[in-house]
Amino acid sequence: MRGNKEHLHNYAVAWTGEQEKEFSFEAVHSHIRKEQALRFIRASPHGSILEIGCGLDPLFTYIIDFERYFIVEPIKKFAEKALEDKLGSSRVTVRNDYFERCFHDFRDIPLDCIVMNGVLHEVPDPRLLLKCIHEICIESTRVFLSVSNAHSMHRLLAYEMGLISSPYELSETNKKFKTSVVFDKNSLSDLVENTGFSILDMGTYFIKPFSNQQMEAIITAGIVDRRIIQGLDRLIPYMPELGSELYAVLEKSP
């Protein structure tokens, strides 16, 4: 995530505000996103892991069987939280910086996994970020990333209702969290392949019929109970292209 100090401050304030709500659907969505990344880590060799953009809830707190865990987080408040969470562990290293500025320092570290959860669509230059990641990958490195899905159910519904002029239009939530682009499968595939990666797996997760604000309102009002979240999470096999977010697992092309 590149940008000026005001941009980072506004992002941190927006996200901290969501965490402080009695019930935040953005926080629910973040939890689902995190679980998707953890499934990837647990299913892959993960002795050495790099997480780019950890937010307020770094993934290392949910796994124990790693040798080294590196975090690069540009927002000072989030980096400080990760430092607190590591409880003095020498296995965890936290760096408060932009990855594009410090990626050279990882060139001699053989990484098993690189995780970039909900980050790529929030940077002004996704291509540059992917190129920097490509520079430090070895043949066996696996990269996991997740981004917003332009063809999610709630975006397509909003488009058909005339609320947005295009599924690629930035929503209010996108603007709040400084999203710069909304990907679909084709545009994400083109980007990663043009920056030197091969796609091992790609798909969507979590069916979200309405915007975060609408989901929050109907659950808070008791129109539906929170069991709906589990049900929506299980609908992907029936609607595999319509999940709220895209994920991809990548390796460096030969």
pLDDT tens, position by position, 182-192: 999 999 999 99
From the list 139, 84, 148, 141, the residue with the least C-alpha distance to 117 is: 148
Average pLDDT over residues 57-64: 94
- How high is the pLDDT of residue 8? 47
Query: Side chain identity at 55, as an amino acid letter?
Result: G
Q: Which range is least confidently modeled, 128-132, 172-176, 195-199, 224-228?
A: 172-176
Radius of gyration of the chain, Cα coordinates, nearest whole angstrom:
18
Instruction: Look at residue 80 and tell me whether its pLDDT is greater than 80.
Output: yes
Terminal Cα distance for the chain, rounded:
28
Distance CA 128, CA 100 (A): 8
The one-character DSSP state at 207 is -
From the list 209, 225, 79, 223, the residue with the least C-alpha distance to 156 is: 209
- Quickly tell me which residue has 């299980």 as its tokens: 234
**Does the predicted model carry a pTM greater than 0.85?**
yes
Of the pLDDT bands very low, low, confident and very high (cuts 50, 70, 90), residue 171 is confident
Exposure of 51 by Cβ count < 10 A (0-12 exposed, 13-18 middle, 19+ buried)?
A: buried
Query: Side chain identity at 126, as an amino acid letter?
Result: P
Task: Name the percent of the chain lying above pLDDT 70.
Answer: 89
> Which residues 6+ apart lie within 8 Å of 88 measured at CB?
none
Tokens of 76: 């000072």
- How high is the pLDDT of residue 21? 62
CA atoms within 13 A on the CB side of 145: 24
Q: In degrees rounded to 5, what are phi and psi of residue 116?
A: -135, 85
The answer to whether 49 touches 69, Cβ cutoff 8 Å, is: yes
Q: Which range is least confidently modeled, 49-53, 61-65, 166-170?
A: 166-170
CA distances from 237 to 204, 205, 233, 243 (A): 10, 9, 10, 10
Q: Give the pLDDT confidence of 127-167 residue by residue, as tens digits.
A: 999 999 999 999 999 999 999 999 999 999 999 999 999 99
Instruction: Look at residue 251 and tell me whether its pLDDT is greater than 70.
Output: yes
Q: Give the pLDDT confidence of 1-15 residue by residue, as tens digits.
A: 344 555 544 444 444
Distance CA 130, CA 229 (A): 32
Instruction: Look at residue 45 and tell me whether its pLDDT is greater than 90.
Output: yes
Distance CA 120, CA 137 (A): 17
